[in-house]
Amino acid sequence: MHILHLSAVTNWGGGENHIENLCYELKESNPDIKNTILCARNTPFHKRLEKSSLNYTTAPLKIKIDPRYFFKIGAFCKKEKVDLIHIHEPSALMSAILADKFYNLPPFVFSKKTSFPIKQRKKTLYKYNYPKIQKYLCVSDESRKVAEKGIRNHDKLITIYHGTNLKTKGTDTPFKLRNTYNIPSDKKIIGHIGNHIKAKHLETFIEVANIIIHKEKRTDFFFIQIGTFSERTEALLDRVKELNLEDHIKFLGYTPNASNFLPQFDFSMITSQSEGIPQVIYESMYHKVPVISTNVGGIPEAIEHNVNGLLSPKHNPAALADHVKSLASDEQLQKTFIEISYEKLLQNFTTETMAQKTLDIYKTILNHA
Q: In DSSP terms, which residues pair with 312 in a beta bridge?
A: 294
Average pLDDT over the chain, rounded to whole? 95
Q: What local confidence, expressed as pLDDT, does residue 246 receive?
A: 97
When pLDDT is averaged across residues 267-272 and rounded to a whole number, the result is: 98
How far CA 342 is from CA of 15, 50, 275, 303, in Å, comes to: 22, 32, 21, 11
Band the pLDDT of 340: cuts 50, 70, 90. Answer: very high
What local confidence, expressed as pLDDT, does residue 355 receive?
Answer: 95
- All structural domains of the chain: 2-163+350-367 (3.40.50.2000), 177-348 (3.40.50.2000)
Average pLDDT over residues 47-65: 94
**303-317 pLDDT, tens per residue?**
999 999 999 999 999
Give residue 247's identity as a one-letter amino acid code. Answer: D
Residue 60 near residue 38, CB atoms below 8 Å: no
| pLDDT tens profile 75-132 | 999 999 999 999 999 999 999 999 999 999 999 999 998 888 999 999 999 999 999 9
* 135-166 residue pLDDT tens: 999 999 999 999 999 999 999 999 999 888 88
pLDDT at 369 exceeding the cut of 80? no
Q: Rounded mean pLDDT of 331-357?
A: 96
Distances (CA, A) of 289 to 126, 170, 264, 286, 327: 42, 14, 9, 8, 12
DSSP 357: H
In degrees rounded to 5, what are phi and psi of residue 300?
-65, -10
**61-72 tens-digit pLDDT:** 998 889 999 999
* DSSP classification of residue 263: G
